Structure formats: structure tokens, C-alpha cells
């Protein structure tokens, strides 16, 4: 993680992105709005929460507009809201920080009860900045691009309905890696390595690494292991003709792209990346300690 300490802030226009119809998130957004206005910033609010927070003189725009017009976006919600915003904001040159409504999040490090002091640090230019890359996912059928989307955490190939074995081959930069029969495969970024991939037995990848992990889901062999590869690799999954069921590639468990036998799934790093900022004393390991209970004794 690169620590950038600037003496004066480069942030002038700030976007507030929220969680619609969520009382506590709305309350935090109102506090945050007042705080920013008091400090003299121009603020644009996520139009999806207009009915929850509108006061006189408030400016609204959608997330795409916020990405284009603002220097910093503050996402007030859970990691899910952050993932949704991140997929859009990564395209623009905007810094992003999160205030978590609930527990400490992996992506949203500010606490709603105590966000002002650390946020002020950030606004004054005393922050850490890091780039989190995303995955571009493209589905090809008979050589034609059928659908595409992007993922901050992970892309998962799996059957569309119940847990059922599928068969596919993986190529990395045109080199054959493996033929596999399993319930699917998880391709995770470092950001996603503490999410679904972790539940499935994948390694934790520290955020600044330019790597991906590939992880089989319930493989029909005993010799499958997680493998970590260069994030600049082109991954191609060839779906075997032998599969007789519909499949999907799920991006961040939000968007599902339909996949059929014989299709090819291409996965590579996006050109743009998400610019996350953290308060000066942020530590990734501290988040692991808090979220994963690192330090608890068993016996």
C-alpha cells in the first residue's frame, strides 16, 4: 500500500453515495453532508437516496455523474454498496472511501460513530491511497461476444441451478493449465480474497499484490489446490461440450452472465482501477485482526 501524505487536500467536490431506504445509513449521510458543507466542500448526493435525506439546496446526481464530477466519493453503507459503486467509479479518476453502517467492513473503514476525525485527516490530505484492480469478464459463444461485465471481488463459474458437476478446461495466456470436473471455479482478486474465496479455502492476498487466485469448488479429485497467478494473465475457460445444463458466471454475486456448453469465458484485469483512500493510520492487518478474529486463542 502506497502511503501518500499531502499537506493540502486535492479534494474539492465530494460525492455521497448511500444505501436507499436504510434509516441508519441515511442518518449518517445527513451528518456527513452537514460536516462537509461546514468545511466548505461542494457536495453532490446520490439521487437514489433523495427521498431519504433531501434538504434545501442539496445537489443530486447518479453514481455515474458523481464519478465524473467529484474528486472523492464517500460510500455510506456495507461492503455490498461499496462493490456496486466501485464497479462504476473505477472508470473515473475519483478517490473512494467508505463509512460502514454496521460492523467494520473490509472495504469501508470508517465507523459511523466516529467518522469525522479520520475523514478530516483524509480531507486535509493525510491519507493512504491504494489501487484495487477489477476483473473484466466476457462470455463468447461461437466466437461472438455474448455478454460482459466486471467484478471487484470475484468471478464465479457455476451451474445456474442446483449444485451439479460441470466440466471445463482452463488456459492461462494460451497455456493449458487443467481440465476439471467440479461445482465451478472462483477467480478472485486480492480485494475478493477475504470474501467468498476465503469461505472456499482460498488464500488471503494482500491488497497491493498484482495477482489472482483460482480456486475449484468441490472438485471431483483430491489433488486440486488454490493457485495464485499474475493478474496480467489472460484467463480463458473453455466450457466442455459435454455439459448438459445451463451455467452462469457470477460477478461479485450481483450480476449473472449466462453460459452454455461450448462457450468461452475470458477474464482479465480491467484497465482502470478503484482508487481507495484510507485514513493515515489504516492497517490492512488490523482489519484482518478485527474481521477474522486473528488473535483469538483456541485452547
Give the contact letters, 76-95, x = binds to a copy of itself (CB under 8 A), - = no: ---x----------------
| Contact pick of 94, 196, 278, 287 for a copy of itself (by CB under 8 A) | 196
C-alpha cell at 260: 452454455
- Closer to a copy of itself by Cβ: residue 33 or 284: 284
Residue 194 CB, nearest distance to a copy of itself (Å)? 8
Q: Which is nearer to a copy of itself, 184 or 279 (CB)?
A: 184
202 binds a copy of itself (CB under 8 A): yes
C-beta separation of 85 from 100 below 8 A? no
Please choose, out of 24-32, 110-118, 128-136, 248-256, the segment that lies near a copy of itself by the rule CB under 8 A.
Answer: 248-256
Residue choice 226, 268, 273, 290 for contact with a copy of itself (CB under 8 A): 226
Strand 154-159, strand 247-251: pairing: antiparallel
Rg from Cα positions in the chain: 21
Alpha-carbon distance values, 283 to 139, 165, 209, 288 (Å)? 37, 40, 15, 9
Which one of 79, 109, 136, 252 is the catalytic residue? 79
230 touches a copy of itself by CB under 8 A? yes
Respond yes or no: is residue 263 known to be catalytic: no
Task: Give the distance from CA 156 to its chain's centroid.
Answer: 14
DSSP at 218: S
Closest separation in Å from C-beta 243 to a copy of itself: 15
What Cα–Cα distance (Å) separates residue 169 from each residue in 53, 166, 216, 237?
A: 50, 10, 12, 6
For a copy of itself, the closer of residues 14 and 135 by Cβ is 135
Amino acid at each position: 500500500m502506497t502511503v501518500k501524505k499531502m499537506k493540502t487536500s486535492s479534494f474539492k467536490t465530494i460525492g455521497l453515495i448511500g444505501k436507499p431506504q436504510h434509516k441508519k445509513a441515511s442518518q449518517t449521510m445527513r451528518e456527513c453532508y452537514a460536516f462537509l458543507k461546514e468545511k466548505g466542500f461542494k457536495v453532490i448526493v446520490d439521487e437514489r437516496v433523495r427521498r431519504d435525506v433531501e434538504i434545501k439546496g442539496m445537489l443530486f446526481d447518479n453514481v455515474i455523474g458523481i464519478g465524473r464530477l467529484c474528486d472523492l466519493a464517500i460510500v455510506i453503507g456495507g461492503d455490498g454498496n461499496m462493490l456496486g459503486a466501485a464497479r462504476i467509479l473505477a472508470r473515473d479518476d475519483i478517490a473512494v472511501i467508505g463509512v460502514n453502517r454496521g460492523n467494520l467492513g473490509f472495504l469501508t473503514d470508517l465507523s459511523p460513530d466516529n467518522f469525522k476525525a479520520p475523514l478530516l485527516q483524509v480531507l486535509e490530505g493525510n491519507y493512504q491511497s491504494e489501487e484495487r484492480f477489477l476483473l473484466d469478464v466476457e462470455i463468447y459463444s461461437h466466437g461472438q461476444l455474448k455478454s460482459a461485465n466486471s467484478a471487484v471481488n470475484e468471478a464465479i463459474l457455476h451451474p445456474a441451478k442446483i449444485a451439479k458437476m460441470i466440466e471445463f478446461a482452463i488456459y492461462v495466456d494460451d497455456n493449458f493449465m487443467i481440465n476439471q470436473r467440479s461445482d465451478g471455479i472462483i477467480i478472485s482478486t486480492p480485494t475478493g480474497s477475504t470474501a467468498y474465496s476465503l469461505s472456499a479455502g482460498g488464500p488471503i492476498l494482500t491488497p497491493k499484490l498484482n495477482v489472482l487466485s483460482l480456486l475449484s469448488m468441490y472438485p471431483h479429485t483430491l489433488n486440486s489446490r488454490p493457485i495464485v497467478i499474475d493478474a496480467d494473465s489472460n484467463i480463458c475457460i473453455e466450457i466442455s461440450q459435454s455439459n448438459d445444463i445451463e451455467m452462469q458466471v457470477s460477478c461479485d454475486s450481483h450480476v449473472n452472465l449466462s453460459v452454455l456448453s461450448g462457450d468461452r469465458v475470458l477474464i482479465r484485469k480491467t484497465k482502470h482501477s478503484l482508487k481507495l483512500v484510507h485514513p493515515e493510520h489504516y492497517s490492512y492487518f488490523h482489519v484482518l485482526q478485527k474481521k477474522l478474529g486473528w488473535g483469538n486463542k483456541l485452547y
